Structure 1
Amino acid sequence: MELRLALCLLFCYATSAEKYVLTTLHTVTKSSCHPEFTAVSFVNERQITRFDSENKTLTPIHAWVREALNDHYWDVYKQTQMSEYARLREELNETMKSLGHIKDVHTFQRRSGCEWDDKTFHVKGFDEYGYDGEDFISLDLNRMKYVPHTPLANTTAERWNSNITLLESQKQYYNTECVNWLKRFGRTNLEQTGNISFYQKKPFTPVICHVSGFCPSALKISWRKDGTEIKKNISLGDVLPDGDGTYLRDISIFSDELNISHFTCVVGDSSRDLSRNSLRFENSNSPSDTQSALPIAILCSIAIFIGTIVCVVGLVCYCKKNRSDPSDVY
């Protein structure tokens, strides 16, 4: 997979609930418009940390990220980014020198990390480099050998493949350390089931289970009746970004059953039972608002009808009285 395509797919990567991916994007550049170096890490689709050469501070994107690592491992993670900063800055200079690009502005990129399946315990690493946005070189983890993807990378491949220390450190990282980082962040932090609410557009229309703040985007959402998953009369909406690295989605069900207490909306390992109290209507604050609106309307109609009859009867009596009054005869 080309580096450019991989970078684009990173943000829409769909993974099952059993697989977790740690990805770090490193960028080093000579451009004066950007920090010389940035390192952004993701777990599945969620950004977890950022480091750049301007403040040299490792910043957690979410509170749970910092809480997942104690001070020792937090410092180790920061030092890892610092070391990569020094290495990639030197490699950019060497690559530019070998290509005769000394006076130009160029960029070196790295996408590295691993995928871990906590059911099968299978681990798959990846380590890809780009130069000015084009595929440059990658590490073949089966052979532990760097493979150039363009003739421009031949010199770099020869230099890296002769560096035994570099190869051993990469082997150690992809065989052990990368997965350990994923385990430290913890499964409970990597999967969030979000908030579950119920509503209808109006009575006798499908009931919608609205789920917000969940992650990853491929987290399973379903309806159950008495504990059994329902397959018919179900409409599953699109997954939409929630603006904070999480997602929202609707799943609706249509049923002519009056007892809605048999139904449950399930999101990952969490669920919420449907009830009259939890169901709201789209244009009201609660079901009782809509339920009470009908009697009020009926009462108003009755009052108007009675008032009209009273007025008509009064008018008729008045007219009869005037016709029978002797004073009106000349």
Structure 2
Amino acid sequence: MRTLLLLLLFCHVSSPVLHSLKHFTIASTGIPNLPELLVTVEVDELLVGSCDSNKRMDLKQDVAKSFFTENPERLERYKHLCFQVLPYTFKALTNSFMRPFNQSGGGHVLQKVEGCEWDDETGEVKGFSQFGYDGEDLLALDPNTFLWIALRPEAVNIPLRWVVDRDDEIFATQVYSKWLKEYVEHGKSVLLRTELPSVSLLQKTPSSPVSCLATGFYPRRASLVWRKDGEELHEEVDHGEILPNHNGTFQMSVDLNLSSVTPEDWTRYDCVFQHSGVEDDIITKLEKDRIRTNWEKHISIVPITAAVVVLALTVISAAGLIVYKKKKAISPPSSPDNSTELSEQLSPETNQGTA
């Protein structure tokens, strides 16, 4: 689903007033220890809740909890779809998708993303829907004609008995947009806020790339680049993904390879963070004293370690007892994972009559 993710990310970066509602569904078969169905809901890239076929539901944000407390019928609808309708629908869809690939069993994953985007300045609404199968894009819905487009040759032979009709078009462009506007209005204190990040320069070893890390920003629509003499660099740089933090903000990083750069030229480089709706960029100059490193800390503790050893030997000699224990250092936990689980949402046909 890489193509889909890049497409949606591009759309959000290109418009600072674009809101989105996305239902992700992931259905699995033949894979142990995984629920047969997992559904997540995002509003403006913020995960607000999830549910699965084991009848577990989790609301992730206080604003989501308060919304569903005031609108219990919407919560009951999600429960009905997630616990009763979608597990059977997606099981049948998985079987339909396996046939064109000449598969009769084994472990497989069917993914879907569905929802809408709304420009609150122009009022334009666009519905979208796309399927993925075993990690590859498979089918996409044309938002203008509401016909399915095959993204792989095998998809041409999939029996589309659930072809979208006029009712489904209305659901995607009107019902979803109504829900989205309600979510944005209710959660505007959270969804419409702006938080700027802290930006740090990190380096693991003297020969490692220098990583520019921006963390704690919101909304997700942002960019982070390295520049040389004011011009954005495309060579010798490695862009990381935008990842969620546990507090609802985001982080991202971009690495710069300095292997061919002389120390005298370091001052020609800077890292620039640009945020949607914020005029001023955050510019961080590439200066040696700004870089946080692991290897410098390691060097600085050598004299302390030697002093401790001398003191320990003195005590041991006086007491006539030798005690020596080795303790293996435990690596610190890694940064949060962008487990953007590409889960997806309901087949439009399952929604007919329930809007």
Matched, 1:60 2:59: yes
Structure 1 residues 133 and 195, CA, compared in 2 at 3 Å: closer, same or farther?
closer
- Normalised TM-score (structure 1): 0.56
Q: Which residue of 2 aligns with 1:115?
A: 117
Structure 1 residues 154 and 196, CA, compared in 2 at 3 Å: closer, same or farther?
closer
Displacement of 1:59 after TM fit? 1.6
Letter paired with 1:77:
Y
Q: Distance in 2 between matches of 1:242 and 1:46?
A: 11
What does 1:1-330 align with in structure 2 at a 5 Å threshold?
A: 3-7=1-5, 14=13, 16-30=15-29, 31-54=31-54, 56-69=55-68, 70-82=71-83, 83-161=85-163, 166-187=164-185, 188=188, 189-193=190-194, 215-218=218-221, 242-247=245-250
Displacement of 1:150 after TM fit? 1.9
Structure 1 residues 142 and 16, CA, compared in 2 at 3 Å: closer, same or farther?
closer
Displacement of 1:94 after TM fit? 2.2
Letter paired with 2:174:
T
Displacement of 1:176 after TM fit? 0.8
Q: Distance in 2 between matches of 1:35 and 1:196?
A: 36
| 1:103 partner SS | coil
Q: Distance in 2 between matches of 1:8 and 1:36?
A: 27
- Report how many aligned residue pairs link the two structures: 217
Q: Distance in 1 between matches of 2:86 and 2:100?
A: 21
Contact 2:195 2:219 in 1 (8 A): no
Letter paired with 2:120:
D
Contact 2:196 2:218 in 1 (8 A): no
Displacement of 1:43 after TM fit? 1.4
Contact 1:15 1:44 in 2 (8 A): no
Letter paired with 1:66:
K
Q: Structure 2 stretches of 5 or more lacking a match?
A: 199-213, 223-241, 253-275, 279-355
Contact 1:68 1:184 in 2 (8 A): no
Q: Distance in 1 between matches of 2:26 and 2:244?
A: 26
Larger-gyration structure (1/2): 1
**RMSD in angstroms over aligned alpha carbons?**
3.5
Letter paired with 1:121:
G
Q: Distance in 2 between matches of 1:160 and 1:116?
A: 26
- Normalised TM-score (structure 2): 0.52
| 1:102 partner SS | coil
Displacement of 1:102 after TM fit? 1.4
The share of aligned pairs that are identical, in percent, is: 27
Contact 1:148 1:157 in 2 (8 A): no
Q: Distance in 2 between matches of 1:246 and 1:9?
A: 21
Structure 1 residues 138 and 247, CA, compared in 2 at 3 Å: closer, same or farther?
closer
Q: Distance in 1 between matches of 2:138 and 2:243?
A: 34
Contact 1:107 1:132 in 2 (8 A): yes
Q: Structure 1 stretches of 5 or more lacking a match?
A: 198-210, 220-238, 250-266, 270-330
Q: Which structure is higher in RCO with an 8 Å CA cutoff and minimum separation 6?
A: 2
Displacement of 1:92 after TM fit? 0.3
Structure 1 residues 71 and 120, CA, compared in 2 at 3 Å: closer, same or farther?
same
Displacement of 1:155 after TM fit? 2.7
Q: Distance in 2 between matches of 1:37 and 1:248?
A: 28
Q: Distance in 2 between matches of 1:156 and 1:65?
A: 37
